[in-house]
Amino acid sequence: MILEIAQIDIKPGFEQEFEEGVRRATPLFKRAAGLRSFQLRKVVELPRRYQLVVGWGSVEDHVVGFGASGDFLTWRQLVGHCFERLPYVEHSSEVVGWFNEDT
């Protein structure tokens, strides 16, 4: 699995609107080919910074499949106006895993 990690800085006062836009966009991601997981995280030290962490089967599933789709355009219409600047996006693959002792 590949993780897309997007660092998204939000304009002051747009945090709630952004979070609601992400909630509304969740079905767009759910129907994307190759989607494995979807999570929005808020950075504790910088409360206007979010991390969108999306698991994909491949980079192509994200960039070519979702990125070139109408659903991507809808996603940006829902939340793009909240961005302070364009998100910084990276893709990562696991090198070393961790486990929970309770499982």
**Domain presence at residue 101:** no
Structural domains counted in the chain: 1
**Domain presence at residue 53:** yes
Chain position carrying tokens 């979010």: 50
Domain range for residue 9? 2-93
SS3 75: helix
**Residue 22 maps to which CATH number?**
3.30.70.100
SS3 47: coil
Residue 102, token pair as written in the block: 């309770």
Per the CB < 8 A criterion, the answer to whether 72 and 18 are in contact is: no
Express each pLDDT in 54-73 by its tens digit: 999 999 999 999 999 999 99
- Residue closest to 23 by CA, chosen among 50, 45, 3: 50
Q: Which residue blocks in the chain are alpha helix, DSSP H?
A: 15-30, 59-60, 70-79
pLDDT band at residue 98, thresholds of 50, 70 and 90? confident
**Domain presence at residue 8:** yes
Q: What is the pTM of this model?
A: 0.89
**Domain presence at residue 68:** yes
**Domain presence at residue 63:** yes
**Domain presence at residue 103:** no
